[in-house]
Amino acid sequence: MAEKTEKKEFELTGKHVLAIVVTAFSVIIGVNVFMAYSAVGTFPGLETKNSYVASQKFDAQRTAQEALGWDVAARIEGETLFLDIKDVNGDAVTVASLYGLLGRATHVNEDQEPAFSQSSTGVYTAQVGKLGGGNWNLRMNAVAEDGTSFQQRIPIFLKAN
């Protein structure tokens, strides 16, 4: 007659609990290290080397910029960036120089410097290629014909295609 073999019931021992705890904390620490590495790797860096010195000039620059009375709007249609700069009367503004940096707020991988040209209607346009949906920022620096500096960050939201 064959002997019945009883299946031994699983018993949770201290070794098992230790393995569970070590595994759980290893996963948590591993994810934290990955997230910290990703955050530091995508950080574009400081915008100014010495914030104290920059703050000394800020009020004067802001007052001069506000005195221009410019209203700036930006939009992207297709692969073209439109930048509309209007004065207090709503007329198009011609600037001495214009620089822009278009990119995402979260990383610098897709940053580009659009080459603006003023159209006959006074709107500045630049080809930017096909862009993905989401939040984009245009950081523009313009110099008025009288030499006054004008800086502004313009958020642009693109719907996903």
User: Is 122 part of any domain?
Assistant: yes
Return d(Cα 83, Cα 106) in angstroms, integer. 22
Question: In this predicted model, what pLDDT tens digit does every residue of 112-125 receive, in sequence order?
Answer: 999 999 999 999 99
Decide if 80 contacts 115 (C-beta within 8 A): no
Picking from 70-74, 122-126, 131-135, which range would have the lowest pLDDT averaged per residue? 131-135
Decide if 135 contacts 113 (C-beta within 8 A): no
User: Is 3 part of any domain?
Assistant: no
Please name the residue that has the structure tokens 């009375």: 69
Please indicate, yes or no, whether residues 31 and 72 belong to a single structural domain of this protein.
no
E strands, the chain, in order: 71-77, 80-86, 97-103, 117-118, 124-127, 134-143, 149-158
Q: Residue 119: which region, alpha, beta or left (left: phi > 0; alpha: psi -120 to 50)?
A: beta
User: Is 81 part of any domain?
Assistant: yes
User: Is 56 part of any domain?
Assistant: no
Decide if 135 contacts 149 (C-beta within 8 A): no
* Count of structural domains, the chain: 2
User: Is 80 part of any domain?
Assistant: yes
Q: Residue 125: phi, psi to the nearest 5?
A: -130, 155
Any idea what the CATH number is for the domain that residue 87 is in?
2.60.40.1220
1 has a pLDDT exceeding 60 = no
H-helix or E-strand spanning residue 25? helix 14-42
Please indicate, yes or no, whether residues 85 and 121 belong to a single structural domain of this protein.
yes
161 has a pLDDT exceeding 80 = no
Residue type at position 131: L
Please indicate, yes or no, whether residues 138 and 83 belong to a single structural domain of this protein.
yes
Please indicate, yes or no, whether residues 36 and 106 belong to a single structural domain of this protein.
no
Please indicate, yes or no, whether residues 79 and 144 belong to a single structural domain of this protein.
yes
Please indicate, yes or no, whether residues 33 and 81 belong to a single structural domain of this protein.
no
Please indicate, yes or no, whether residues 125 and 75 belong to a single structural domain of this protein.
yes
Please indicate, yes or no, whether residues 84 and 153 belong to a single structural domain of this protein.
yes
Please indicate, yes or no, whether residues 73 and 24 belong to a single structural domain of this protein.
no
Rounded to the nearest integer, the mean pLDDT of the chain is: 90
Give the residue numbers spanning the domain of 93: 67-158
Say what the pLDDT of residue 106 is: 83
Give, as one character, the DSSP assignment of residue 91: P
Please indicate, yes or no, whether residues 77 and 153 belong to a single structural domain of this protein.
yes
pTM equals 0.66
User: Is 53 part of any domain?
Assistant: no
User: Is 146 part of any domain?
Assistant: yes
User: Is 50 part of any domain?
Assistant: no
Say what the pLDDT of residue 2 is: 61
